[in-house]
Structure 1
Amino acid sequence: MARGSVVEGAARAGLAARGVIYLLVGALALQVAFGDTSRQADRGGALEELAQKPFGAVLLWALGIGLVGMALWRLSEAVFGSVGQDGRSARKRLLAVARFAFYVVVACSVLSFAASRNHGGGGSSDRQSRDATARALEIPAGQWLVGAAGIAVVVAGGWIAVRAVLRKYHDELRLGRMSRRTRQLVDVTGVVGGAARGLVFAVAGVFAVRAAVAYEPEQAKGLDDTLRIFADTPLGPWLLVCVAAGLVLFGVFSFAMARWRHV
């Protein structure tokens, strides 16, 4: 019972922390769409924005600790299994391991930023993406590795978007505790937000594949550059507005998950 309470608290804190990041990234992307190109619409930009708020240092540490909670929750799912009929399956455990590794990296990034006196620990996602791609291309079979990773990200983005549109998240929510109106609002945030998040992942993966094919690290793009690409389409900045609004909605959806998710 004690372990269950700790894991549940860690999970809900982590989901709330994820919501804060997506809210800030979406809001920054909206500012970029409306002409403020000096903004950095990625995790680093979101942390910079948070650092400038009253009690910013406290908020950054709280965010980092929340993400540590998310990582610990995913680790517990890998070790003990997750909720649901197939929660102990090998597929679910492997997925939990991948999520654990991802959130360890994110949590370390945020905590490093919080500990940095000059708040320079976040870094640009674009530079990080190019540097990581360049290092990967230098190793044996690196071109194939980057290409495979890019394809995996494209597939993951499509999987995220499709699951959102099909409302597969219903299986993870305590729908009986919601009013009809609340459920409708959660569906709007879950479907639109999840689709936008999946689209961003998929586009970033496409650029990773292009970097592998061309053997050019500069072709790889982080979150900031990926979002800016949407403003360069024939639809102009309005497509970026739609995607950015979707990321804001995903942030709200993460708060709903923190409140009503089965853990």
Structure 2
Amino acid sequence: MAGQKKSRKGIKLGQAPALSVSTWAQWIKFVGQEAGARMAMILSLTYMFGLRCSEALTLKRSDFSFHGDIPKLVVTGETQGNRKSPGEVYCRKKHMCWLKSVFKSGYTVERTKKHKHGKGRKKTITRQDKYEIPSEGFLFRSRKEAKQPHLHYHAVYAQVKRLAPRFLEHLRNQGQKWGPEVAKLRPHSGRATLITELLGDGMSTALSMKFARHAPGSVKVHLKYGRLTLKDVKAACDKMDSKGSTWPDFSRVPTAKLKRARLDIDQELRKRVKN
């Protein structure tokens, strides 16, 4: 097949597509409606912490620490699936409140399923679907008959591959313009979306690689995850251009810095008065 890379194991699908942050939120909501709260939770974690899907599936409650000086997640490397790049991942402030709520009360979505007593031509019903964090063991357990204690990567892959084309159709029905790459969303797309967000917001490559736990020699791999566009370049340039023409937001400046700045300003004003 032309245009596709081949390997010993078959055809490689290429880099997982990334979404904008707002469209990623729509994707998670769509997954919750179509595949339930647990699947939406798995994909949410891949974005929040930049996890590979296999790393998210092997997490335990004890891997999360929200109460220290630096809230974090520890990828332990103790289980097959999370041994590639163990390490600590910072828990961002914008996710903290939601995560604490989920750990305390669970995660609930409105799920639509086909049912013989459903309404409409498609015979569907909508019910609440709730996922609760287990008190011990893996967060995403497999069935009793399964060979491994946690959900397998292929179970997530199959759901994402099934839902991605339908999500593209959903976006287009809402009048949103997205290319055909959305139909190729994969379990790693959360990781790609996060890296794209970090790079687009101006985080240095070194820091974004640290966040994603990429090895120092994996710069090319890391940059491939980031799917920056001309729109991202424009936003970054506009942000840089605006810095020189406007005053900083003093409400965010520490008091000590403000006091030092005031001394410098007073000193400069006294010089100008003398002149």
Greater percentage in helix:
1
Greater percentage in strand:
2
Q: Same fold (TM over 0.5)?
A: no
TM-score, length basis structure 2: 0.30
Higher relative contact order structure (alpha carbons within 8 Å, sequence separation ≥ 6): 1
Structure label with greater radius of gyration:
2
